[in-house]
Amino acid sequence: MSILNNYFFRSNEYISRLYLIVSSLTTFGLITLYSISNDPLSINSSFIRQIIFIIFSLLVFFILSNINVKTIHDNSTLIYIFSFLLCLIPFFLPPVENTYRWIDLGFFYIQPGEYLKCATIILIAKYLSNHQLEVKEGYIVFIPILIAFLSSFLVLNQPDLGTAVIIFAPVLPMMLWAGVNGFTIFLLITPVITIIAASNNLIFNIWGVLMFIIFLFFQGSFLKRVLIYFANIFTGLLFPFFWNDFLNGYQRQRFIDFLNPDLDPMGSSYHIIQSMTAIGSGGLFGKGWGQGSQTQLKFLPVQESDFILSVIAEEFGFFGISVIMFLFFMLIKTLLDIAFKSTDYFSSIVIIGLSSILFSHIFINSAMTIGLMPVKGLPTPFVSAGGSFMLLCFIMLSLINIFSRN
């Protein structure tokens, strides 16, 4: 018992709250999967498979929880290189569904890109925590961004736009947490806004003026500000070329479909329309467990993973979604609390990174089901069916467990 105590029961009140939330979410996921499956008790149903994945993930969780923070800290570069190489393997294997995202283990597909997310966070956290004296300086941001860029560049070539975006998601919160100053962070956001603004001449001009005013009031050398300002403007002007020549057809298509879902009702925006129909028709209290016609009649695509929230919304209504959203909120809030209370800088930053990854999954996935974002193949943490991602969630959970042990 003492060993278990060491890794599990000894945990503080935040950790036990976390376990409660995670078990609620997985239970909710299982209930939903049971409703979706035609024959829930057969060995091939997503329900039973999910149970098997959870048990397997729990085992991995217990094993990994034995590692201590120092081991991870000291070997973070090694972990990153290992994950990076793992991501290269699929390129030497036959493609699965025309992509190089998966490694087929026979009984199970793993998606190495998922683990690269964690490795990237750990490496960035190590860098930030080791350079705490320089964080006030602007140049500190280059190394973390370079690491994130390296990872996401690899993933983008698999191609997996969703994961590539997720890899960038933790960078800003982690830097903010580490104390990088507000202007630097603003500088990092500006290119993104510039790119979005570039789609429309008027908006681009307004943004150009707005950016000019903000740059005037911030500190730093005049030359630096002018250079960054014009770099932004050029990014905006070059973006259309990037859009046309650099993005894959399907990526562009998904983005366009997102902007106007009614254009192609049977194509990729079919997903969005069906999902919104499922959600909207759920109403306040839902159609009842196993009663969702959109779900049960298979109008709703990839309902056991990417669109599982739509199933919940249809069958349990706004009430059910509110419960799920509350659980997600509590999950992330608890992680923030843990990070805030943590006595160790490195651990604290890693937890912020992990919570950013979880939250970006939650946000992008939910926003996608309700038509606020383009369709990306991103599952919902702890709820969606899928072995590789469930395993990743529990690996993150074990990292959280490890990093909160002080």
Partner 1 sequence: MLKIENKADIFHYRTLLFVLIFSILTLLSRYFYLQVIEYERYSSKSKVNSIRAQDTYAPRGLILDRNGVVLVENYPTYILTVTPYKLKDINKQLQIISEIVETPIDELLRRYKKYNQGRFLPTIIAKNLTFAEISQIEERRLELSGFQYKRFDERLYSDVLKDAHFLGYLRELDRESLSFLDKSKLYRAGELIGWQGLEKQYESELRYSKGIEYIEVDTYGREINNINENNIPAYPGKNLILSIDSKLQQFSKNLLIDKKGVILISNVNTGDILSMVSNPSYSLDIYRGETTDSSWNKLLSDENKPILNRNIAGLYPPGSSFKIITAFNLIEDGLLDPEDSLMCTGYYSPPGSSKTFKCWKEDGHGLVDLNKAIAQSCNVYFYETVQLIKLSDWTKTAKLFGFHEKTDIDLPNELIGQIPDKEFFINTYGRWGWSERGVLLNLTLGQGDILVTPLQSLRYINHIASKGKTPKLKLNAGKEIEYYNEIDLSKQSWDRIFKGLYDVVNTQSGSGWRAKQSDIKLYGKTSTAENPHGEPHAWFNGFFDFEGQKYSLVVLVENGGGGGAIAAPIAGKIVKFFTDNQVEIVEK
Residue 14 in tokens:
């935040």
Q: Is 165 in the site for partner 1 (CB under 8 A)?
A: no
CB 292 within 8 A of CB 282: yes
> Cα separation of 44 and 53, whole Å?
12
Q: How far is the CB of 110 from partner 1 (least distance, A)?
A: 29
Q: Is 302 in the site for partner 1 (CB under 8 A)?
A: no
> Cα separation of 320 and 35, whole Å?
14
Residue 388 in tokens:
């590789």
Q: Of residues 184, 347, 388, 401, which one binds partner 1 by CB under 8 A? A: 347
Q: Of residues 118, 352, 393, 396, which one binds partner 1 by CB under 8 A? A: 352
Q: Of residues 280, 288, 289, 291, which one binds partner 1 by CB under 8 A? A: 280
Q: Kindly determine how many residues on this chain lie close enough to bind partner 1 according to the rule CB under 8 A.
A: 54
Q: Is 67 helix (H, G, I), strand (E, B) or coil?
A: coil
Q: ∠ at Cα 315 (310, 316), nearest 5°?
A: 95
Q: How many CB atoms lie within 10 A of CB 213?
A: 8
Segment interacting with partner 1 (CB under 8 A) among 3-11, 110-118, 361-369, 394-402: 361-369
Q: How far is the CB of 105 from partner 1 (least distance, A)?
A: 29
Residue 405 in tokens:
């042990």
> Cα separation of 347 and 401, whole Å?
10
Segment interacting with partner 1 (CB under 8 A) among 82-90, 102-110, 208-216, 335-343: 335-343
Q: How many CB atoms lie within 10 A of CB 361?
A: 25
The contact mask relative to partner 1 for 89-128 (x = CB under 8 A, - = no) is: ----------------------------------------
CB 142 within 8 A of CB 97: no
If the CB atoms of residues 198 and 350 are measured against partner 1, the closer one turns out to be 350
CB 374 within 8 A of CB 14: no
According to DSSP, the residues that pair with 103 across neighbouring strands are 110
Integer CA distances (angstroms), 162 to 141, 357, 382, in order: 23, 12, 18
Site residues for partner 1, window 41-70 (CB under 8 A)? 69-70
Q: Is 149 in the site for partner 1 (CB under 8 A)?
A: no
Q: Is 262 in the site for partner 1 (CB under 8 A)?
A: no
Q: How far is the CB of 283 from partner 1 (least distance, A)?
A: 5
If the CB atoms of residues 296 and 388 are measured against partner 1, the closer one turns out to be 296
104 φ/ψ angles, rounded to the nearest 5 degrees: -85, 115
Q: Is 19 in the site for partner 1 (CB under 8 A)?
A: no
The residues that touch partner 1, with contacts defined as CB under 8 A, are 69-70, 73, 129-130, 132, 173, 176-177, 179, 274, 276-284, 293-294, 296-299, 313, 317-318, 321-322, 325, 328-329, 332-333, 336, 339-340, 342-348, 352, 359, 363, 366-367, 370, 372, 406
